[in-house]
Homo-oligomer: A and B are copies of this chain.
Amino acid sequence: MLMSELSRRTGVGVPTLKFYLREGLLPPGEALSQTRAAYDESHVRRVGIIRALTETVGLSVQQARGVLAVVDDPGPSMFDAFGRALAHLPPTVPEADDYPRARDVIERLGWVYDPRYVAVRQLDQALAAADALGVPLDADRLEAYAPHVHAIAAYDIARIPADPDAAIEYAVLGTAAHEPVLAALRRLAHQDVAAPR
């Protein structure tokens, strides 16, 4: 299909599609002439993913490009690829030499972890922020949360596609998309628990 048709199919204007091409978010179509190219269903799908990442997940174009670069070329290690992709998702957390608060929690829980994994520093910063806000999470509370979070995670992992390329895309997009669902569900569960019966 031509770009005009891609625009019609995706509901995204031609100038925006050209911007995605220029920024490397959308792979080029098959050149038909100097000024025209043919796009296919993979482009339709890609535009949907770009829109969802930038509009709904709220990523910048640069962050979305980072995520999509890993999805497009995950490399040999699924584990590393997932960590690299997650580093582009919010929250953005600066690197530090050590994350003692997070390490302490994870080790207390007895979970296997890679200390370089971006979630370690996210946990460290999130715990510090909770302290700063005067709503600290003590060890008892984290230990009460842990089995429930772990059960949810086990359910997630069991549903990851077996194909490695599909798996990394699923894991990255699922992380971006499912965290807001779980956050909204927890807010609703608060209401259910607190509601007068």
Contact = CB atoms under 8 A, between A and B. Distances in A.
Contacts of A159: 141
Copies of this subunit: 2
Interface stretch (A1-9, A19-27, A34-42, A116-124): A116-124
A156 B135 CA distance: 11
Contact of A111 (B52, B154, B174, B188): B188
A102 to B, nearest CB: 8
Interface in A130-179: 130, 132-135, 137, 141-142, 144-146, 148-157, 159, 170-171, 173-179
B187 A53 contact: no
**Interface residue range, chain A:** 35 or more
B188 A120 contact: yes
Given A133-B176, A177-B126, A152 B156 contact: no
Contact of A186 (B49, B144, B152, B195): B152
A112 B148 contact: no
- Main DSSP-derived SS at the A contact region: helix
Contacts of A197: 112
Interface of A: 45, 48-49, 51-53, 56-58, 79, 86, 90-91, 102, 106, 111-114, 117-120, 122-123, 125-130, 132-135, 137, 141-142, 144-146, 148-157, 159, 170-171, 173-195, 197
